[in-house]
Structure formats: C-alpha cells, structure tokens
Amino acid sequence: MIAWWLDTGVPQTGPVAVFEANQVIACSPDARAEGVYLGQRRREAQSRCPQLQVVAASVQRDEQIFTPLVVMIERSVPKVQVIRPGLAALRVRGPARYYGGEPEVAKAVLSGINELGVTGGRVGIADDIFTAEQAARDTQ
C-alpha cells in the first residue's frame, strides 16, 4: 500500500507550487485549479497561472512537515517506509486482518491523517510499490 499526500510542504495560501529542477513536485489546490500539475515545467506553470507563488524544494522543511504524518500513520500501521516526503509505503497483510480488509486499512490511515487537518491524501493498494503508487495517482 502507498499513502500519498499531494500538498505536503505546500503553504495553503493561494496558488503555490514547489519546484525542483524547474519542475513542479507539489502544488496547492488553488494552483491545480488554474491548470498547474505535477511534473510541469516552471515556465508553463507560470504562464497558466501568472500569480503562482514559486517555492524552492527543501528536504529539511518537507521532512519536518511530513514527520507528524508518519507518526500518525504508524498508529494504524506499523513499519512505515518513507519513500520521500509526502509518499510512504506500508505493509498491509497484518493490518488487513486486524481491520477486516485492505480498504478498511486505507480508511484508517486516511482518517488518522485527516485528524491532523491534512487533506489531499490518496491511497493505492497493489502487490508492489510502483503499481501502488500508480494506483494512488489515479485515485481521486
């Protein structure tokens, strides 16, 4: 299972995008509403949304923001593997037995994070990390 938070590390004041190597790696809901998306080049993002606030990627800032999320996830599911800030892999075999199934584990993880006031979470369930991440990306 993959737990993914789109807006981790993004200030929630207007259209904001976090850039690394001139590509969007995270953006606020306001920026997405203006046509900004993950992987988009900086110039294209700024042309679609002229009022876009540009924020440079910061590993320290992202880790500081994401750590409370990991702690909350670990209350529901042990042994969380952080892939990068905003993206974590979880084993669900044991927790699925405890909660009554994989969808119930996903609900428990998302509800725990929502208690922190973090929205935009997605969960993907698959046999391997790559496929689970793709499933999380396709979830609305």
Structural domains of the chain ordered from first start: 12-57 (3.40.1170.60), 60-138 (no CATH)
For the segment 83-89, the average pLDDT, to the nearest whole number, is: 85
Inter-residue long-range contacts of 93-102, CB under 8 Å, 24+ positions, other chains counted: 102/1
Q: Which band of pLDDT confidence, cut at 50, 70 and 90, is reported for residue 61?
A: confident
Q: What is the mean pLDDT of residues 97-125?
A: 88
Q: According to the model, what pLDDT value does residue 23 have?
A: 96
Q: Which residues of 18-50 are buried (b: 16+ CB within 10 A; e: fewer)?
A: bbeeebbbbbbebbbebebeeebeeeebeeebe
Report the mean per-residue pLDDT for the chain. Answer: 87
User: pLDDT category, 11, cuts 50, 70, 90?
Assistant: low
Q: Name the nearest CA neighbour of 139 among 124, 120, 119.
A: 124
Res. 26: pLDDT tops 60: yes
